[in-house]
Structures are given as C-alpha cells and as structure tokens.
Amino acid sequence: MGQAFFITGTDTEIGKTHSAVKLTQHYQAQGLRVLAMKPVASGCEVLPDGSWHNDDVARLCAATGQTDTALMNPYRFLPPVSPHIAARQAGVTVSLDVLADHAQRLAADCDVLLVEGAGGWMAPLRDDCLMQDLARHLGLPVILVVGMRLGCINHALLTAQAVRAAGCALAGWVANRVVPNQPAFEDNLATLVQHLGEPMLLLPYEGAC
C-alpha cells in the first residue's frame, strides 16, 4: 500500500479538484500509479441515459483512468448544497466506516491515493460529523489547497491551525491561482510561505478551465 492524502481547501470552488488532477499528473510523471476518491459528491445530474454525472468524479476519473465510480464515489446527491443537507434530503446517513472501507480498497491498488473532500475543512457530512472527522477517521495526512485571492491568507492559516488541532498532519499545500491578476501576488505568496513553508505545487491561472 502506498501513500494517501486527504485534499482540503480554503473554501469550496477554489480548485481542490483542479489541484487533485495536477497532483495526479505530477505523481504519474514519476511513474506512480495514482487513484482518486471523492467520498461525497453533491451537485450531480442525471443524464438522458439515466446515468449519474458529477463534474469532480468525471475530472478525477479522466485523470486517473478509473472507471469504477461507485468505488471511488460511494455517496452522490443531486442538489449542489452542503453534503449534510443533501444527504438528509435523500434520507441517507453518510457512514465513515463505509468510506474508510472504500479508501482502503483503493489505497491497496495504487501508489498514491488522493481523497478529495467537499467544501472546506469543516464542511458537514452529517449533523454530528464534519469533513475533518472523515480525514481523521481515514488517518490521512492533509494537503491544503489555497485558492490564491484576497482573503486566502486568513482562510489558509485558520484551516492549517484547525487541521493540526484535529490531530491531522499537514503534509503540504498547493498555491492555486484562481484569479488572473491577484494584486501583490508575490507578497501574498511570501506570507503563506512564511507560515506554511514552500508549496508542493504553484498552479497558474488557466482562464476558464
């Protein structure tokens, strides 16, 4: 069994999936076999042929070559809302043990497993369970994706502090440029480096990708 990481972010829609795809390519370039997991996907659609589609699942599978979406994404919900609300509306209770079982099966089959959370570190999975509880239950070191834009220093440092307070290891962070010209980008980056160390990856702004 190889390495596995839990990918969290400074917010929703700041590039966790984008970064997971880039990390996948980064490890693949080293000759490593990478698999991905999206434990809970809210914001799905049913296609005309009756199959379910979720953007994150599709992008991760395209990057890794996975086809067994039920294994890598055990819980999927239609509305694009917080997982705990989507699950409640569907009458489903998200089980950390089920997710750990899927993660173990995937990890056994690869060199690097990337598990992408939903939303940020404290996005709820149930009324009594946050994303951080899943990361801790899986026992995974955490990669923090920072969406580089105004406000991200505060969000990044709060998240890093919360990761450590939860007893999880912060394995590293990714600087993901989500806006084309962040004012004083270099100074923002230097401040994050001062507190978090050098990023694992620095991802450029790619326009609408």
Ligand X SMILES: Nc1ncnc2c1ncn2[C@@H]1O[C@H](COP(=O)(O)OP(=O)(O)OP(=O)(O)O)[C@@H](O)[C@H]1O
Ligand Y SMILES: C[C@H](N)[C@H](N)CCCCCC(=O)O
Which of Mg ion, ligand Y, ligand X, none interacts with 42 (beta carbon under 5 to 8 A by kind)? ligand Y
CA distance 8 to 12: 9
Amino acid residing at 22: K
Q: Are 74 and 38 in contact (CB under 8 A)?
A: no
- 111 annotated among ligand-binding-site residues: no
- Asked if 39 interacts with ligand X (CB under 6 A), we say no
- Asked if 56 interacts with Mg ion (CB under 5 A), we say yes
Q: Which residue has the tokens 């996005």?
A: 123
Distances (CA, A) of 115 to 28, 39, 131, 139, 204: 16, 7, 11, 12, 22
Site for ligand X in 15-34 (CB under 6 A): 15-18
CA distance 14 to 177: 9
Non-local CB neighbours of 138 within 8 Å, separated by 6+ positions? 4, 6, 99, 100, 103, 115
CA 153 to chain centre: 19
| Of 121, 186, 128, the residue nearest 156 (C-alpha) | 121
Closer residue to ligand X, CB minimum distance, 1 or 20: 20
- Asked if 9 interacts with ligand Y (CB under 6 A), we say no
Which of Mg ion, ligand X, ligand Y, none interacts with 82 (beta carbon under 5 to 8 A by kind)? ligand Y
Using CB under 6 A, which of 42, 73, 176, 182 touches ligand Y? Answer: 42
Beta-bridge partners for 202: 175
- 42 annotated among ligand-binding-site residues: yes
Residue 38 annotated as catalytic:
yes
- Asked if 155 interacts with ligand X (CB under 6 A), we say no
Using CB under 6 A, which of 43, 74, 147, 199 touches ligand Y? Answer: 43
- Asked if 69 interacts with ligand Y (CB under 6 A), we say no
Site for ligand Y in 144-163 (CB under 6 A): none
Of 7, 37, 38, 102, the active-site residue reads 38
* Residues annotated catalytic, as ranges: 38
Binding site for ligand Y (CB under 6 A): 12, 42-43, 80, 82, 118-120, 123
